[in-house]
Structure 1
Amino acid sequence: MPRRKVTPFSLSFLDIMFCGFGAVVLLVLILNHETVKTRNEVFTDLRAETVRLEKEVLIGEEDLVEARNSLQATEKEIVLMQGQSERVINTIEDLEIEIAQMSRETLANRAHINQLSTDLKSLDEQKKRLGAVAPADRDAGEKVREFKGEGDRQYLTGLKMGGERILILMDASASMLDQTIINIIRRRNMSGASRKNAPKWQRALKTADWLVSNLPATSQFQLYTFNTAARPALAGSDGKWLQASTRTDVDGAVNALRELAPAGGTSLYHAFSVVKALQPRP
């Protein structure tokens, strides 16, 4: 049997060609799938990296805003601190000026004090040389009558007795028996000796004694008591002035006052009518 002729376009040749083409297509598909997968993975990674970078950018922008705000706040604080530092510097300069002035004044005061101390020593020496009288003796010589109180007690602190004619009016009514009305009524019905020893009346007697003892020696005086009527403490001296330099007048008036016992009501009209009756007037 004769053989077939071999031609380039036989069926077998076409099969081989199509098989090769299919293999190429299959290879292309496999390679394309791997490429797409790799590309997607790379894209996913790039996407994640992009998102991360965007977040970092946002965080960086927020940090930048906070940094700018902090910078502005810091600049304001710096301005305030500069102002405060300037005020502190000015205050320190003013204080230094005041301290320097006070130092000069202190030196001047010390010099003045030293001068006064020197003058005082000089006066003390002059006083010793002149044989000045002791203050206690001088004070005792100015009193018309010796007065002994309780310790160093002063009955009328700051009061200075002065004048040419001095009238002392003393309330001798029952109101001088005590501070309260109940005790006044109770003491009013007691004996004369009990009324004389009433604490309020004794304080009044000591006050009157102190006043008479501190009369100027060159003055005239009169001591009147009053309740419902006014009368002189020293009997027989009605309408007359007594002499503070006369010891009998001074002691007589004080001693006569101690013999009285408070009684009766209070009449200020009769008390002040004494002022009009005395001639010349106090």
Structure 2
Amino acid sequence: MPKLRKPQDGFNLAFLDVMACGLGAVILIFILVDFKAFSPDPTEEKNKLEQELAASENEKQKLQKSIDEINDKIAQESARQDEAEEARANSTDYQSKLLQDQATLLAVLADLENQKAAISKEVEKSANIQMQGTGEQNYITGMKIEGKQIGLLIDKSASMMGDDLLDILGKLALSDGEKVSTRKWLRTKRIAQWMIARLPKDSKVTVVAFSETAKVLGNNTVSSARVKSSMQAIVKDLGSVVPDGGTNLQIGLRTLFSANPKITDVYLVTDGLPTLGDGLPLKCKSFISEQKSISSDCRRELFAATITKAPQGVHYNTILLPLEGDPYAPSSYWDWSRITSGTFLSPAKEWP
């Protein structure tokens, strides 16, 4: 019987197994090597994240700086708006006060006109001097010349030749003969004569004409209203006065009370607030060149300083011939007359 051949499959399978395992091992090695090759380096990743974080922080700081700048601008603009609003409010209040003062003056003037229309037209026969004209133009209601010791202050500054700045400047170049013949100055002299004509017979009077300087008019510093020649001498001196210079009310008052310290009633004829005198605020002075004009606010402050130096216990009365460009004059003289129990009048242009 023939011998059977032993199968050789066992060897073949074992060989294949070995080869497969080897191949698998090689593949596994390649996989591990490739994974490690493409694995990120933790140090590089950290550096990259830190750079991105630093960039973000810089961007944040820039944004915060921009926000702070915007907030500052908003705060500054808000502050400017608040200041502007406050300034508008103050301006509105001040305008309201001026309108109220103006309304008060207009009401007073209307009342005076009504009283004037109702008074008698009889010409006073006991006048100290003769006045031309008859009827209502020879009288004015509310201004009664009274007192035992009377002082008349007549403003003879250059502004007493005109009603506005251009008009006044145009008259500065006139001759003295032409200046004393200007319409406003002629009216001023008539007002002074009107007061002299109505002085009480038993009164004593001192008349002073003032501008930058002051002068007592008449033969005596204190004259008796009963003596007709004394009154005529005052009128004559007034006729030779030439209007010029600025308005120094302080020197006018000093001259008046130096001539007669017993004066109890002062009657002032002027057209505006003073422009010269002691007590002018520092902000109103010019240290570079001589100042040719003075603002309305500075004139008002100078007037306040002037009346504080004026003798007390005296009745101060004012006849104002308003000058354009001096808005505080009516209310200022009104207050001064009111607090001293005097009278304030701003008569119509046709009077007296």
TM range (shorter): 0.3 to 0.5
- TM-score of the aligned structures, taking structure 1 as reference length: 0.47
Higher radius of gyration, 1 or 2:
1
